[in-house]
Structure 1
Amino acid sequence: MTRNEDESSSPAAQLPAGRELRVLALNVWHSGSKVAGGTELIADLIVSNRASIVLLSEATTATTSVAAELARRGYEFNAVSSSDTGILTVFPIEDSADLRWMVKARLTVDGKRLTVYSAHLEFRWYASNLPRGYGPGVPPPDEFAEYNFEKIPCGPVTDLATIQWVNAASGRPEVIGTFLADAKTELAQGSSVIMAGDLNEPSALDWTPATANLFDHNGVAVAWESTRLLHEAGFVDAYRSMYPNPVTHPGLTWPSDNAEVDVAELAWAPEADERDRVDFVFAHKTGLELDTVGIVGPRGSIVRGARQPETTLDNFAESPSRWCSDHKGILATYRFTG
């Protein structure tokens, strides 16, 4: 991108007086290494969206490399990372912790406390493949292990108990339970809480009777456990709260089109419509008010192994000419209440 004359100022200085929190969540796909100049593209995205909190998934080395690239451009971001997730922010980091599937940071914003979590959950036991007639990537010796992520010869699996069993075996709902216990402590200590990332699991608000015959759900409606637990604990799904209709605004984030990558690398179920919303921004209803939310990324997805433009009514915050990932990102803006 072409740098503007005012681009050398810190993004924090660009924020309005009300201290808008601009939260960008993105799976950066092998630390941005799958596309030429991936580090620079991620930095471009942060700058163009004036993100003040960036929550990265699949970011083994990206967090530090992107922070260095931003610093080279005159943008100072504080950084913490785990083996797979990372947080970049213009706000002071008071403390941080590696929660294995998440990394956590306590921030101070104008004297207020905000705790943010970046998540990337288990990709195997991908139960949403089953209704689409594909293996969920279950390791041996469990049921469906013989199919890995390949097509199931006998066709789609639509039994809800089976789908929920495979999903629970992933450990994702258990990870969310651990997060909720940690977040409860943060909330009790007066902190606002945001959690975002690639959950590798759809939303209970998306696989509904209204979408049962869309996206190769094959008549199945599933109350996916991880998001169900989050909703029950008072965490609000930013995109679905503002765009509640999963038919007109499905908010699909994976698999995203990427013009610089062969379609075979982007699709896992090449004979199915495997599109899903698996990337999220959640905030606890206490202390934060959502202003805006949109998708960041190409206006195209991969459907049955082919590139396809999206014709939904989804709100795209930005669609860069070059893209760094096989996922789309989410940009949500918040303000403190009270």
Structure 2
Amino acid sequence: MSRVVVFDETGAPEVLRIIDEPVGDPGIDEVRIKVEAIGINRLDQMVRAGMSPRPIRMPHARLGVEATGTIDALGAEVEGWAIGDAVVVTAVPDMDINGTYAEHIVLPADRVIARPAGLDATSAAALWVAYSTAYGALVEKVAMRPGHHVLITAASSSVGLAAIQIANQIGAVPLAVTRHAAKRDILLATGAAAVIVTDHDDVVEATHRHTAGAGADIVLDSVMGPGLAQLADAAKPFSGTLVTVGWLDPRPAPFPASPITMIRYMSFEHTLDPVAVRRIAAFLTAGIRTGALHPTIDSVFTLDDIVAAHHHLEQGHQVGKIVVTI
């Protein structure tokens, strides 16, 4: 049997419960993974709370799009993998049915990559969603280049911290935006060229000050909400790009009047494309090997403490990734 987190109704973290289910066998082109650790994402919270961007199947819905572990069973036609291989999950588009909050998961073999050498399970669980989202938006979608000034909102989130590191790996200049001055030091230590604290800084003025008046080449926004129009004013007129990758603020976002390019980025655009996944994996593996990329862990819980992990996520004070070990 395998322990699995499920919920029968949406609501507070207490709707989550752990049950025992039979361990499934992989199909012909599938692998079964013995999960070692999972990453907790804001999307998990939204689905659990009833704010899913798409309908979910209930009761007995599952959660989770991120995990790492070892292969413990192979489908009949799977090639290139062996039992015992350490892997990272790259996409679970149907989390309510096959979510990763479990001791075992079965996935198509093309939905995993090799775990980068040197990463333990906790760090590997914090890698894929944050870094593939930041890489996909900045490199694949908006073609970030060396020398670009990149304004990054929610910079202490796992995606924000990944974006800072990836910008530095490319040779761009990351400008971090945070609400709290207490997070300044860790953002600078992560590699931010400057930190803009919205509690007492004007984002537009500060961005222009740090870019010699030009404005940001790229704005990477995980927040949305009413502040979106102001962020657009921080970008370079005409040549600047604002790319949104999240919606931490559920309030309506006004359409900016600034003459810039706006892009709504969804990571499945690339994580469901095997060719793009290979590019992302190569980039991340190289960054891990050289030390340019290093996942930031906020806290670690056990599967038995999944409710506490979700409460911690809802408080919104974390810096980096919340990880649950199995």
For the superposition of Structure 1 and Structure 2, which TM-score range results when normalised by the shorter chain?
A: under 0.3
TM-score normalised to structure 1 length: 0.26
TM-score normalised to structure 2 length: 0.27
